[in-house]
Chains A and B, each alone.
Chain A
Amino acid sequence: AQSVAQPEDQVNVAEGNPLTVKCTYSVSGNPYLFWYVQYPNRGLQFLLKYITGDNLVKGSYGFEAEFNKSQTSFHLKKPSALVSDSALYFCAVREVDNFNKFYFGSGTKLNVKP
């Protein structure tokens, strides 16, 4: 069965510093991985995805994620955090055997302080 783990409930970082939000996955085949962001009272917004190819994926708002097959990780990164990046971030994996099902992690709350 596919699953996703986000080991940190919360990440605190100062504005201008680099940020990392961690995600590890468990899949039976090649993973299809996604990052979404959720702002208060708004729907989830797609940030980026990894399907195949380059391990470093670039997405919206300056975010990027690094796929590491040996560590089964897909950490979200940004070189310089903004206060406006403060939100809830979800990692998701698409089921390989059933392409229609997504499994989401429990979310990581990112706090960027001025």
Chain B
Amino acid sequence: GAGVSQTPSNKVTEKGKYVELRCDPISGHTALYWYRQSLGQGPEFLIYFQGTGAADDSGLPNDRFFAVRPEGSVSTLKIQRTERGDSAVYLCASSFSSYNEQFFGPGTRLTVL
């Protein structure tokens, strides 16, 4: 069956621009997670959705980062006024519930010039 998909696979932008990263979870998965993975590091938790609501956004680094999941399926991670330090691979994962293992998408590589 279809796994978690993320678009775009690569995004290059200029400092100060706004970007949106999209995640399509596995159908039926109610839990959705966003992570950021910098070079040479493990994934770093950003935000968790249960259904439509952001149940835990404690990992968002600052108020330039925001994520939505309006219909409880697709999620969009939004970054305003991008900075060079935002360059990383952004990973999305979904699971049937928060008690189950997560299935990860291939990630979006964001490069801020």
Question: Which chain A residue lies CB-closest to B5?
Answer: A43
Q: Mark B12-53, 1 if CB is under 8 A from A, else 0.
A: 000000000000000000010101000011111100101000
From known contacts A100-B56, A102-B102, infer whether A43 and B42 are also in contact, taking CB-CB under 8 Å.
Answer: no
Chain B interface: which of A11-19, A44-52, A64-72, A77-85? A44-52
CB contacts (< 8 Å) of B110 on chain A: these are: none
CB contacts (< 8 Å) of B104 on chain A: these are: 36, 43-45
* B91 located at the interface, meaning its Cβ lies under 8 Å from any Cβ of chain A in the complex: yes
**Chain A: minimal CB distance from B76 (Å):** 18
CB <8 Å contact, B55 and A41:
no
Q: Size range of the interface on A? A: 20 to 34
| Cα of A92 to Cα of B50 in the assembled complex, Å | 20
Give the A-B contact count at a CB cut-off of 8 A.
58
Which chain A residues have a beta carbon within 8 Å of chain B's beta carbons? 4, 34, 36, 41-46, 49, 90, 92, 98-107
Which chain B residues have a beta carbon within 8 Å of chain A's beta carbons? 3-4, 31, 33, 35, 40-45, 48, 50, 55-56, 58-59, 91, 93, 98-99, 101-107
CB <8 Å contact, A43 and B107:
yes
From known contacts A100-B56, A101-B59, infer whether A44 and B43 are also in contact, taking CB-CB under 8 Å.
Answer: yes
From known contacts A49-B101, A100-B48, A100-B55, infer whether A107 and B106 are also in contact, taking CB-CB under 8 Å.
Answer: no
**Chain A: minimal CB distance from B21 (Å):** 14
